Structure 1
Amino acid sequence: MLSNEKYKGDALLQKTYTVDFLTKKRAVNNGEVPMYYVEESHPAIIDKEMHTAVQLEMERRRAFAEKYNISKLDYATVDNPFAGRVICGHCGSAFGRKVWNSTDERLRRVVWRCNKKYEVKGKKSCENKHIDDKVLYHVFVNTFNAMVENKEYFMEKWKEGLKSENVLVRYRARQFIEILKDAEIVEEFDVDMYFRWVEKMTVFDGKKIIVSLLDGTEIEVVVE
């Protein structure tokens, strides 16, 4: 649906064609007959710039998933927002969520560990350390607050992004400016805000995390 040109007011004609005029049977057109692209054939539901930005975002997600060998980013949920978004700073693999001592609630601990840590059973393949789930929540809160405290710097950065020829870059810049201009210091993790800002969190030895925003901005956080 998101890639359908009809939403921006255009139409691609003859996506299917009649193969049997007696039975009216139709088939997908894979080049058997010409297709015709008609611009502004009907009122648009969304503007063309937004439609283009969506296509670029879909390609960004596809490339991200392919780079880090993630089947899809949709695994991230409100209860598990970091799925597919925590990356190993040593080997570049994704981190996976592990629950330790899950049978005893008092000792239960949720951690994230490189998926290649023990790629071969009994043999350590990556030396990166695990990181507690709760640390990741705190890291985003600290990152967001750092942007609020340095609002002027970031606002100027994104104002420059408004001049970009890349539609998605302009869209992100407008979105970030709109969110940050009235933002205040927060104390708790906001999952919606996290999804609107963060592309990935790269972990180094459990002591340093680089938070990469969706516009490519990187913010380093030291874990104490």
Structure 2
Amino acid sequence: MPFSSVLGFKRGLNGEFLVDVKEAKVIKAMFAMAVIGMTTAEIKKKLNDLGITTAYGNKWETTSTIKDMFTNEKYIGDALLQKTFTADFLTKQKKKNEGELPQYYVEDHHEAIVSKEVFDHVGKKLQSQTIRRASVPLSGKIFCGVCGERFGPRPWHAYKGSPHKETVWQCKKRTACGVPHIYDEQLGLLLDEVVRQVFKERVDLAE
């Protein structure tokens, strides 16, 4: 398992997960900020203001990294195996496992940094924020480019029995037209790009 991208852990002599005491303090502080109601955007700003960097030593550029951390089971000592798989052995391209291959959830795999109670509490907060943000402004306004049916938000579990959900948007006739779902985060990025393009076109026309 890669360690470089998991803030709060380091590799042991036998390849096992060991808690990095210094980085673990950052993780605990991040979860504490989420518990008291700070948004991921506010947490990102606070981390940057304090000079705390990501696992790669960079500034926190997006909130998606923080959201991924808040749903990473490694912080409660568990491990979900086969999250990704090699889609192309020639290029070594990795792909997110969305049901193509079986996944295995191992409890008490290593030492935890936060309690399951705190982890679940933060996960529920994220879920409610995401669904509230997604369902209000966009419901009934996104349509499938293949069959013309509406796209709607629904919760999606990373694995069976997971208390944590992501919001995905699906065509109401997805089984008929075969259009894959899109994550709420991806939809937001696409909408941002559309807004930028529209704004650019208006500026170009005004010149």
In terms of Rg, which structure is larger?
1
- TM-score > 0.5 by shorter chain: no
For normalisation by structure 1, the TM-score amounts to 0.28
